Structures are given as structure tokens and as C-alpha cells.
Amino acid sequence: MGEEALNSKDMIKGQKREKSSLSGQELLRLTESRRVTANEKLDPESKTVLGQYMTPSTVASYMASLFPAPKSKEIKLLDPGAGVGSLSSAFVNHMSSLKSSYCIEATAFEIEEIMLPYLRENFLHCESMAQENGSSFTWKLQTCDFITETTNVLRAKKTLWKNEVEKYTHCIMNPPYKKIHKSSLHRRALSLVGIETVNLYSAFVALAILLLEDAGYLVAIIPRSFCNGPYFRPFRELLLKNTAIRRIHLFASRTSVFKEDKVLQENVIIALEKNVKQSDVLVSISEDDSFSKIAVNSYKFDNIVKNDDESLVIHIPTQCNYSQSYLKEFRHSLSDIQIQISTGPVVDFRLKEHLRKMPETGTVPLLYPSHFKNGALHWPQLEGKKANAILANADTKKWLYPSGYYCVVRRFSSKEEKRRIYPSVIEPSVFAQSEFLGIENHLNVFHQEKKPLSEELARGLAVYLGSSIVDAKFRRFSGHTQVNATDLKMLKYPSRKELIELGRWAMTKALITQEMIDARLESILR
């Protein structure tokens, strides 16, 4: 185990202690300068392998500000994946601003050697500033793998001595973001302590929750992907069983937080309190990481996690023009309206030998997201890079749909598009001579037992899915750029009759604007 334990009496060989005191702003400025320098030195390939994205000072300061004033003077702080110490420095600065004396004992984990000199320097400065404000700051640096070390400690304490593991009162973190493979040592180690999860960030948070004292407080900046989906359900269960959600902060721009690393993941800041009663949740949103304008609203917890939801999906309300009651009016599932949704069955690289650039004898149309623009079908595409047709034969027939009307939704939106869901209608008149058609895997398709919908129903679905109501509803539980069939299945829909009426209305219009769609949906709900 790599470990260094230092306090105000210790010296680092070859390094003199700063004697002059620092203000909080000076500490944060120096920390940010070291972060930028260290980030420039990091090998890009190593950053990708380790999933490292360092926390800007503005984000670190905002995260630290979310900690309430501690009831005890004794603080045990955990900072896993500490980097250069941006988060711990911001935490010490925040505690100093509370004008009370605290004894802060920090444990920081960091395995990247480039970070360590900067981390030590920042912690020495934290010591000086804490002393200047009548507090104390001591620290222990663990230069080992957080998951491996922590799971080993948890197992040893529980199996050998049946003793309590050392606990923390506070945790602040920006964990690494990287998938954990089923066969990995991390996955096996986590399973042995009862944690089932698929990403390093959720593993870090889960372990930190286990290491918190009762009423311990955790603030983390993490991807929003944990909020829904079956892979993260065990993690959500652990989180909701052991903590109360106190605060969730959203960023309006997906790229603002880690822009220097070109991270497109949508991130949230979440504040959790261990083993206390859940109450209302504060949800805030800022345009970017400057936090110059922040809107804050309070929501009942059953607006965040539905009482009857076995999937434990976490809904995060966003600022929109629709009240909560307005969003709840449509209550029909796809099963209720006898419609199914599937991912397009044609995986092009697996059927490459059967693809054709242009239609020819023996082929049927093959549709990609690129064939749809502004809700309309444009096929074939003469200048596009994708195939326009696929051979209809014994090898491909099971992947084809009968020609007819379908509503499709592309699975991916680009990084800064205004909407998440982009529906379109497949119109069979575009290729009237074809008995079958292929729908590529990057499209989701609404159908009836693998058969077409009526035109009215297909167009009604497209109108509904293209509404601002659905966009707002979808953003409550999904921060992905990806729109999965499972996500669309989770939505509630108008009745089949109402969808058909929407479709008939759409068929009378030569042009339909967003305002027209939203007004029409509102008229149905009122």
C-alpha cells in the first residue's frame, strides 16, 4: 500500500514549507494554476485509460459551498481521485469561510505520479491557511488504487475482525469516468463487498457511501447516466437505500464543465447525506461553470423518484414552461395503446456484403438516420456515404420489415442540439414498389408486432414525440445523447384515439411548427 502521512510538524524532503499565510482566494488561484500545469503534462492516452478529468476551480468552489456547516468540530474528509487537490483545497477554504475552528483530517487517494508534487504543495498551503483561521488541517496521501485498497479494507475488517471500518464525516469527489468490464479485477473486487456497477464513477460513489458515517455528507460531480437504465439500477438502489438526496445541480451546456478535455458527457453535481430521512430535494441549474446565474427550485421527493417505480429512475426536473401536473396528464404505456418499439434490426457491418450503394434488382430500401431531415424522409441519397439499399434474400429477410408507415426516432443527437428526441415518419409512397424495407440500427422504430402502423397513428406519434412536453419529460430522467428504445418505452403517451386524432390533424397541415405542435398538445390536456 502506498501511503504518506504528514501533518503540520512534518517536512517533505527537499521542499521547504511556505511560512507566509494565504488567503482563500490565493489558495484557489494557486491550486488552479497547478491544475492547469499538471493537466498539460498528462499523457492524453493515460488520461483516457484512467478516465481522468480534472476539476476547474470554479466547479470545486461551488461543490464545496454545498456542504452545510458541520455540527462537530472534528472533520474526517475523504477525497478519492484527488488530482492536484482542487476539491480538498476548496473544501478547506469553505470551512474557513464559516468563521469557526475545525480540525480537518483529510485522506486523499491519487495514483497519477504527475499529480503528487502539486497535491503535496497544495496540502501544505491548506495547512497554513487553516492555521491562520484558527483551524487545523492534517492529511494522509494514499498513492494506491482506491477501489482495490478500499474493497480490501472492507473485506478484511468485516471478515477477520468483525470490526467497524474507519469512517468519514465528509467526502468530496470528481471520480474517474470509465466503464468496468465484467471480467475485470475491479468488478470482482466490488462484487465481493456487495457493489454491482458498470462504471468507475459509480463504483467510487458507492464505496464512499459505505465509508461515510451516519449523517456524513458527500458531494460529487458525476455523469448523469446513472439516473436511468437497467445497468445502473443496483447502484441507484444502494444510493437511495443508504442516503438522502439533498441537492442536484445541472448545467445547461453539456460541454462547459470539462471543455479543455472535450468531454461531451452531461454532468451533474449531487449532494447526499448518509442514513437520514429523505425530504424535499433542491434542484438548481446554471448556464455553465461560471455559476453566474443559478435558478433553484424545491421538489417533493416523489417527483424525483416515483413511489411505484421498480426501476428506481431518478427524474431531474429542468426549467420549462410546463407545470408538474401538466406533465403527468398522459398516463398510457405503449402496451396500453398496443404499440411496440424496437431498435432497428439491420446492423450494417454484420450484413456488409448485402449492402448496396443504390437500389438495384433484388434490393429493398435501407434507411439510416441520415435519410431523415426535419421529420421528412429523403431517399435515396445520391451524395451520402451510407448505403441506400440492402439485398432481400434468405440471409437478410429476417431483419426486414414489411413496407408501410412507421414512426422512427434516431438513437443519437449531436452534442449541443436543442432537442433529445427527433421523430420522423416512414412514408411508403417514397418507394411504392418495395414489399419490404430495412431499418438500420441507429434508428428506433415504433411498430405493431413487426408490422406497419396506420398513417394517422404514425403521424400522431411523431407529433407527440416532437413536442416540448415530451422533451421536458425526457430530460427529467435522461442526460444521455443516446435515446434508447427502453427510454422511449418508459414515457407515457396519449391514448391510441388521441394519437390518431393528432395524426389526422397533422395530415391537414402543409407545414407544422414547434409552436403549433405545443399548442395542439396543450389543447388536448386542458
Q: pLDDT tens per residue, the chain (526 residues)?
A: 445 544 433 433 333 444 445 666 777 777 777 766 766 666 666 555 555 677 888 899 999 999 999 989 999 999 998 988 999 999 999 998 887 899 999 999 998 888 898 899 899 989 988 888 889 999 999 999 999 999 999 988 765 545 567 899 999 999 998 899 988 999 999 999 999 999 999 999 999 999 999 999 999 999 988 998 888 999 999 999 999 999 999 887 655 554 444 444 578 999 999 999 999 999 998 877 778 788 888 999 988 998 888 889 898 887 543 444 444 468 888 999 999 999 999 999 999 999 999 999 999 999 999 999 888 899 999 888 899 999 999 999 999 999 999 999 998 865 556 678 899 999 999 987 899 999 999 999 999 999 999 999 999 999 999 998 888 778 776 656 678 888 898 888 999 999 999 999 999 988 888 889 988 888 887 6
First-to-last alpha carbon distance for the chain, in angstroms, is 64
C-alpha dist (Å) from residue 311 to 82, 245, 314, 444, 490 = 32, 17, 9, 21, 10
Pairing between β-strand 406-410 and β-strand 423-426 as defined by DSSP bridges: antiparallel
Q: What is the pLDDT of residue 384?
A: 82
Superfamily of domain 43-319: Vaccinia Virus protein VP39 (3.40.50.150)
Amino acid at 68: P
Burial zone of 288 (CB within 10 Å; 0-12 exposed, 13-18 middle, 19+ buried): middle
CA-angle at 226, arms to 416 and 286, nearest 5°: 45
365: helix, coil or strand? strand
CB atoms within 10 A of CB 408: 28
- Position 265 scores a pLDDT of 58
Q: Count of residues for the chain?
A: 526
Contact in structure between 428 and 379 (CB atoms under 8 Å): no
Tell me whether strands 103-109 and 74-80 are parallel, antiparallel or unpaired: parallel
- Spell out the domain ranges in the chain: 43-319, 340-525
Burial class (CB in 10 A: 0-12, 13-18, 19+), 418: exposed
Within 162-289, residue ranges assigned H as helices are 185-192, 200-211, 233-242
Candidate CATH numbers 3.30.70, 3.30.310, 1.10.3470, 3.90.220; the one for domain 340-525: 3.90.220
Give a three-class secondary structure readout of 25-58. HHHHHHHHHHHHHHHHHCCHHHHHHHCCCCCCHH
**Which is nearest to 116 in space by CA: 237, 16, 4, 231?**
4
Cis peptide before 365 (omega within 30 of 0): no
pTM above 0.85, yes or no: no
Helices (H), 182-335: 185-192, 200-211, 233-242, 301-304, 324-327
